[in-house]
Amino acid sequence: MKYQNNILAAIDIGTTKIVTIIGYINENGRLDVLGMAKCPSKGVRRGTVLNIDEAVSAIRMTVEEVQKQVGFQIKQAFVGIAGQHIKSIRNRGSIYRDSYDTEITLADTERLKADMYRIPIELGEEIIHVLAQDYIVDSETGIRNPVGMFGKRLEANFHIVIGDIASARNIERCVDRVGIKVKQMILEPLASSTSVLSDEEKEAGVALIDIGGGTTDIAVFHDETIRHTAVIPFGGNVITKDIMEGCSILGKYAEQLKVQFGSALGDLAQDDKVVTVPGINGRDPKEISFKSLAYIIQSRMEEIVDSALFELENSGCMEKLSAGIVITGGGSLMKNLPQLVKFRSGMDVRIGYPNERLGNDSTGEINDPMYSTSVGLLLHGHDILQHTVSGAQNKPLEESHVFVSATGKEKNEPAVNNERETLEDTDESQEEQKKKTTNLFANFKKTIEGFFDVNDSAM
Q: 325 has which bridge partners? A: 207, 349
State which fold the 87-164 domain adopts: Dna Ligase; domain 1 (3.30.1490)
26-73: per-residue pLDDT in tens?
888 889 999 999 999 999 988 889 999 999 999 999 999 999 999 989
Q: In the predicted model, what is the mean pLDDT of residues 284-303?
A: 94
- pLDDT band at 83; cut points 50, 70, 90: confident
pLDDT tens by residue, 199-221 = 999 999 999 999 999 999 999 99
Q: Supply the pLDDT for residue 426.
A: 36
Give CATH 3.30.420.40 domain extents, the chain.
Answer: 3-84+167-198+355-437, 225-351
pLDDT digits (tens, 9 = 90+) for 222-264: 999 999 999 999 899 999 999 999 998 999 999 999 999 999 9
Check pLDDT > 60 for residue 447.
Answer: no
pLDDT of residue 365: 82
Q: How far apart are CA 441 and CA 361, in angstroms?
A: 11
CA-to-CA distance for 441 and 364, rounded, in angstroms?
10
* Per-residue pLDDT tens digits for 313-324: 999 999 999 999
Tally Cβ neighbours within 10 Å of residue 102. Answer: 10
Beta-carbon contacts of 328 under 8 Å, excluding residues fewer than 6 positions away, are: 192, 196, 208, 209, 210, 211, 351, 352, 353, 354, 369, 372
* Complete DSSP assignment for 417-428: -TT---BSS-SS
The amino acid occupying position 433 is Q
Q: What is the DSSP letter of 256?
A: H
**Residue 221's pLDDT is what?**
96
- Local confidence band at 390 (pLDDT 50, 70, 90 cut-offs): low
Per-range mean pLDDT, top range of 56-60, 252-256, 277-281, 402-406 = 56-60
**What is the assigned CATH class of domain 225-351?**
alpha beta
Residue with the bigger pLDDT between 427 and 387: it is 387
Residue 28: strand, helix, or coil: coil
Q: Which helix (H) or strand (E) holds 142?
A: strand 140-143
349-351/73-74 β-pairing: unpaired
pLDDT value at residue 409: 41
**How many other C-beta atoms can be found within 10 angstroms of the C-beta atom of residue 241?**
15
359: phi then psi, degrees, rounded to nearest 5: -75, 165
User: What does the pLDDT read at residue 47?
Assistant: 83
Angstrom distance (rounded) from CA 81 to CA 191: 10
Q: Which residue has the higher pLDDT, 102 or 173?
A: 173
Q: What mean pLDDT do residues 376-397 have?
A: 70
Q: What's residue 198's pLDDT? A: 95
The Cα 446–Cα 358 span in angstroms is 21
Q: Supply angle C-alpha 68, 74, 80, rounded to 5.
A: 110
What single-letter amino acid sits at 53? Answer: D
Residue intervals of the chain classified under CATH 3.30.1490.110 are 87-164
Q: In whole angstroms, what is the distance from residue 387 CA to residue 292 CA?
A: 52
Are 36 and 14 spatial neighbours (Cβ–Cβ below 8 Å)? no
Give bridge partners of residue 216 from the DSSP assignment.
211, 232
Spatial distance between the Cα atoms of 259 and 243, rounded to a whole number of angstroms: 11
- Residue 397 gets which letter from DSSP? P
Q: What is the CATH code for 3-84+167-198+355-437?
A: 3.30.420.40
Please say whether the beta carbons of 193 and 120 come within 8 A.
Answer: no
Can you state the angle between helices 52-70 and 430-437, rounded to 10 degrees?
Answer: 120
Residue type, 7: I
Q: Mean of the per-residue pLDDT values for the chain? A: 84
Find all residues with CB under 8 Å of 401, minimum gap 6, and list them.
Answer: 3, 6, 385, 388
pLDDT the model gives residue 387: 74
Cite the DSSP H helix spans in 117-235.
Answer: 165-177, 188-196, 199-204
Instruction: Name the packing angle between helices 251-261 and 290-315 (round to 10°).
Output: 80
Residues 6 or more apart from 431 whose CB is under 8 A from it?
A: none
